[in-house]
Structure 1
Amino acid sequence: MKSQLIFLLCFSIAIQHLFAQKLEITPTTFTSKSGKEVTAEVGTIAVPENRKNPNAAMIPIHFIKLKSTNPNGKTPTFYLEGGPGSSCTWQASNPAYLENWLPYLELGDVVLVDQRGTGAETERTLFIWQKELPKNLFVHAEDAQKHFNNMSQEALKVYKDRGVDLQGYTTIENANDLDALRQALGYTKISLFGFSYGTHLGQTYMKYYPDSVENAVLIGVEGFNDTFKLPLAMDMQLHKIALLSNNDPTINKQVPDLVALYEKVIRKIKEKPVELEITSALTGAPLKVRVGSYGLNVILRIDIGDASDIPVLPRLLYSIDQGDYSLLQWFVQKRHQRVYGIHGMAITMDAASGASPSRLARIEAENKKSLFKNVINPSNVKNWPIPDLGEDFRTPLATDIRTLFLSGTLDFNTPPYQAEQVRWGYSNSQHIIVQNAGHEQIVYHPEAQETILRFLKGETVNDVTMSYPPIQFIPLTGTSEDLWHPSLGDE
């Protein structure tokens, strides 16, 4: 027995030494919008870039631990940002965002985690295209695909020179990183707070580390088999917005049928693409771009699930039909930076999660009917090293972990039915659907924070209903004292 105790003691010391070598922490403080100081630790933990490779490079995972104000604080909350490819540690140094985390610190620590290849480590898997853009990049899907393929091949050469092992950029490796951090920080269990792709990661962590999770809050849910979107879901979103627009007295006199207007506009700019001048996101110089039906659909793909942009969509289509391209120019300016780069982490994470054969078949079938078939899913990258996680990964999860799902009725990216499909295997869950919320608006509902806090305290929240006011559309012309959108400038 004594020898066993000595062995366990030595093993424990060895493990602590190992983590001491891998974990680096710097104490600091941050100040919230209300002036409250938050004690924190800024840190990194070194992890293998590819755990299947014994000679893998060690890469840092950056995190910020916001310390609880409760001396008897319980389960810490790990925040998992969306993307994949988005950082979240910046929220600690942003007073307004930090203010949002203060109530959670009354429960326990909050850990903001930058997933591998994000935040300060984005440069490792980021490639910037320095050459001239193709003339018809926003006109034809084929030109966009060719440009994407060219960028990807250049990017792979750069990654090789950097020693990047893309085989390690999977959601399972992300989950392994989370658990390494959990252990290094000395937590027995954690609560997960995931948004969008962060819900995909959260479910993965629950699948592979079920004994380490106390609670989970999943907002805008992407299941294991939901990474590749269903094309007709976007058609449905357009029809839903059209129903609202067609019944709006400020819109329906001039546009009685929004879908008909969309189809008219698409035909118009497909036959005669428009030339716009924007400012290059790369050089800051004036840049002339041609925009056709493909480019407009790309814009709609990005913004049709965001309730902050939905109110201006009828005006966008109407203005194009009238020969006014100022709103289209604003949207192209806002979104065109995407064509300048390849984020290897984001591409590989999504490709690795992939889709089942049955879902791929359904996507192919829906593409034949959809108005948006060329823009729904990420482009296929030729010769990209994809570490497919396989059907075992995509198998639905059955769990009794306490889980709160939140969805928005106007969220095209992660519609409520996805959460319900995932929830089928969750024996201890609740689902709140926020009326009139888009993808980005769910968590910002005035009652969302209080509801999440109640849930994390162990309460049931079946009594909660949340709703935003119905969408109010921007008038098709002129200005309104009550309604405004940044695309309108100072009008």
Structure 2
Amino acid sequence: MSAGVLLRLAALGVALLAGPAWAQTTACRLPGVEHEARCGSIKRPLDPAKPGGPTIVVQYAVLPAQARRPRPDPVLFLAGGPGQGAIDIAGGVERLLGRLGSRRDIVLVDLRGTGRSAALDCDDGDALASMLTEAEPSRRLASLKACRERLQKSPLGDLRFYTTTLAVQDVDAVRRALGAERIDLAGVSYGTRAAIEYQRQFPQAVRRLVLDGVAPPDMVLPAAASLDAQAALDAVLAACELEPGCRARFPALTASWATLLAGLPRQAEVTHPFTGRRQNVLLSRELVLGLVRQALYLPAWSSALPAAISEAAAGRFDGLFGLASAGIDLSGRGIAQGLHFSVICAEDVPRLAPPGEATGRDFGRALADDYAAVCRDWPRGEVPAGFYRMGRSPVAALLLSGSADPVTPPRHGEHTAAALGPLARHVVVPNAGHGTMAIGCVRDAVFRFVDAETDAAALAVDFGCVAKLPRPGAFMPPGAPR
């Protein structure tokens, strides 16, 4: 047999093994991913009621399984936000899902309005300038109004059609294009809300459900954020009091925090976190609370809050700005603000309680009032009544919560697990922040949960390793007594 015939047979064999799904994709390289991926797209009507109207191109990518005979159920990952794209964080997702990628394809979908799927981006410019704009309500409103008006002039600018309900219908179209009968659905943060809505609409298509940092559909994000951030901050202050070294170094931390808030607003000179240049800024209460809220996301960051708060109370704010900027994406692909507000204005803000509802002591209603102001003029999409009612899960569902999470703490996971019923298991990871699957032992247990042959075996997976995770000790500045 000639070499040419052998090559043609080999190519045919690859095509047969790959199946019809690969006919919809092309080879591509993704950031942070060493091996070749497959990228594809599907056209979807912006308004499902008008299939002949404007169409949006929804982009997706597949990280092929490393096994010669991969399992038929791929893992489909839904990113957070709302407003984060999935494809441009492919490298992080690949590491997050770990061993699952050895046996199963990993599918990444940029939901409509995010990433490469006609992202509804606002030009936020310089990272520090963005922080300052967001902290001044009048500037923020003006900036978002300009963004909204610009987006509405685009061909796909009808902002009523960027809701979770419509986004997951696109996701199911991707599943069908890939020829997958069922998928293992993994969502983080807002992606958990999208995953729950996907299962509500397409229960027959889900084999396993993994929700990390649970944001259920009936959670009113702008209101919950105040209580949850306050609880996380109070835990940091209390932990310092219980840690001898921290208590000795910062003996009046709670008082320092109160002094800091009482002295706002004020002018201060700060170092730009990325350029290193010094500049004068007006520090409002909203700005300082926003900096602290950002630093609470991960215990590794919040461990430095006692030092940063103490320094800020003395008029030195570089520490707070440095912590808050630690999670900023400098690649240019952050949260698509236009999509973020399209979702929140449609799904959350209409359910905001009037003033008088319980709020965090320090955080108050500032965030809720801010969202309400933005949403007054934001086009509002239709949300079906069933969206807020979580039914029983027909498959094994794993819910993960970090005990120190300032955004989606365990109370939301507990509520969601009760609604999803007996096939839902809620695991609280002690001393973990927002998102737990990056923790090694959690990642391994998630692999066993998804890989188990039956729901019963999945629900029986041992997560005992999480009990050994310590809380990081408070960061001590160089030269500080211990």
Same-fold call, TM > 0.5? yes
Kept in 1: contact 2:73–2:184 (CA 8 A): yes
- 2:17 is the alignment partner of 1:25: no
- State the distance in 2 between where 1:75 and 1:336 align: 34
Amino acid at match of 2:446: I
Aligned to 2:462: 463
Deviation at 1:356, TM superposition (A): 6.8
Kept in 1: contact 2:297–2:405 (CA 8 A): yes
- State the distance in 2 between where 1:136 and 1:343 align: 14
Aligned to 1:9: none
Deviation at 1:112, TM superposition (A): 1.3
Change (3 A) 1:61 1:364: farther
Q: Secondary structure at the match of 1:71?
A: coil
Deviation at 1:264, TM superposition (A): 1.4
Change (3 A) 1:478 1:108: same
- 2:417 is the alignment partner of 1:423: yes
Aligned to 1:197: 190
Amino acid at match of 2:479: G
Aligned to 2:112: 116
Aligned to 2:72: 74
Amino acid at match of 2:202: Y
Q: Which among 248, 256, 263 is matched to residue 258 of structure 2? A: 263
Q: Which among 274, 278, 288 is matched to residue 268 of structure 2? A: 274
Change (3 A) 1:181 1:84: same
Q: Kindly provide the CA deviation profile for residues 412-445 of structure 1, in whole angstroms up to 9, marking residues without a partner as x.
A: 11011111111112221212111100004x1111
Aligned-CA RMSD value: 3.4
Q: Kindly provide the CA deviation profile for residues 305-325 of structure 1, in whole angstroms up to 9, marking residues without a partner as x.
A: 321211010001111223333
Deviation at 1:400, TM superposition (A): 2.4
Aligned to 1:46: 43
Deviation at 1:464, TM superposition (A): 1.6
Amino acid at match of 2:218: N
Change (3 A) 1:337 1:263: farther
- 2:345 is the alignment partner of 1:347: no
Q: Kindly provide the CA deviation profile for residues 329-349 of structure 1, in whole angstroms up to 9, marking residues without a partner as x.
A: 4346668999x9972111111
Kept in 1: contact 2:70–2:105 (CA 8 A): no
Amino acid at match of 1:400: P
Amino acid at match of 2:463: V
Deviation at 1:40, TM superposition (A): 3.1
Amino acid at match of 1:76: P
- State the distance in 2 between where 1:162 and 1:301 align: 34
- State the distance in 1 between where 2:430 and 2:324 align: 29
Amino acid at match of 2:364: K
Q: Secondary structure at the match of 1:413?
A: coil
- State the distance in 1 between where 2:346 and 2:79 align: 18
- State the distance in 2 between where 1:223 and 1:436 align: 22
- State the distance in 2 between where 1:323 and 1:279 align: 17
- State the distance in 2 between where 1:280 and 1:266 align: 26
- State the distance in 2 between where 1:150 and 1:356 align: 22
Amino acid at match of 1:293: R
Kept in 2: contact 1:277–1:289 (CA 8 A): no
- 2:313 is the alignment partner of 1:321: yes
Kept in 1: contact 2:192–2:211 (CA 8 A): yes
Change (3 A) 1:253 1:277: closer
Q: Kindly provide the CA deviation profile for residues 195-242 of structure 1, in whole angstroms up to 9, marking residues without a partner as x.
A: 111100000001111111111011000011114242233222222111
Identity percentage of aligned residues? 21
Deviation at 1:289, TM superposition (A): 1.9
- 2:146 is the alignment partner of 1:159: no
Query: Equivalent residues in 2 for 1:82-481 (5 A)?
Result: 82-92=80-90, 94=91, 98-99=94-95, 101=97, 103-121=99-117, 124-128=119-123, 144-163=136-155, 164-228=157-221, 229-230=223-224, 231-270=226-265, 272-276=266-270, 278=272, 288-331=280-323, 343-354=337-348, 357=351, 360-361=353-354, 364-367=356-359, 370-377=361-368, 379-380=371-372, 381=374, 382-389=376-383, 391-426=385-420, 427-440=422-435, 442-458=436-452, 459=457, 460-465=459-464, 466-467=466-467, 468-475=469-476, 478=479
Amino acid at match of 1:26: T
- State the distance in 2 between where 1:385 and 1:137 align: 26
Change (3 A) 1:108 1:330: closer
Change (3 A) 1:303 1:391: farther
Amino acid at match of 2:400: L
Q: Kindly provide the CA deviation profile for residues 220-269 of structure 1, in whole angstroms up to 9, marking residues without a partner as x.
A: 00011114242233222222111111011122124335333211111123
Amino acid at match of 1:371: D
Kept in 1: contact 2:87–2:109 (CA 8 A): yes
How many residues are aligned here? 442
- 2:72 is the alignment partner of 1:59: no
Deviation at 1:294, TM superposition (A): 2.3
- State the distance in 2 between where 1:192 and 1:134 align: 37
Aligned to 1:488: none
Amino acid at match of 1:83: G
Amino acid at match of 1:463: D
Q: Secondary structure at the match of 1:379?
A: helix
Amino acid at match of 2:112: R
Kept in 1: contact 2:30–2:87 (CA 8 A): no
Q: Secondary structure at the match of 1:84?
A: coil
- State the distance in 1 between where 2:185 and 2:130 align: 45
- State the distance in 1 between where 2:35 and 2:129 align: 49
Structure 2: unaligned runs, 5 residues or longer: 1-19
Aligned to 1:487: none
Deviation at 1:130, TM superposition (A): 7.4
- State the distance in 1 between where 2:171 and 2:123 align: 29
Higher RCO (CA-CA < 8 Å; seq separation 6+): 2
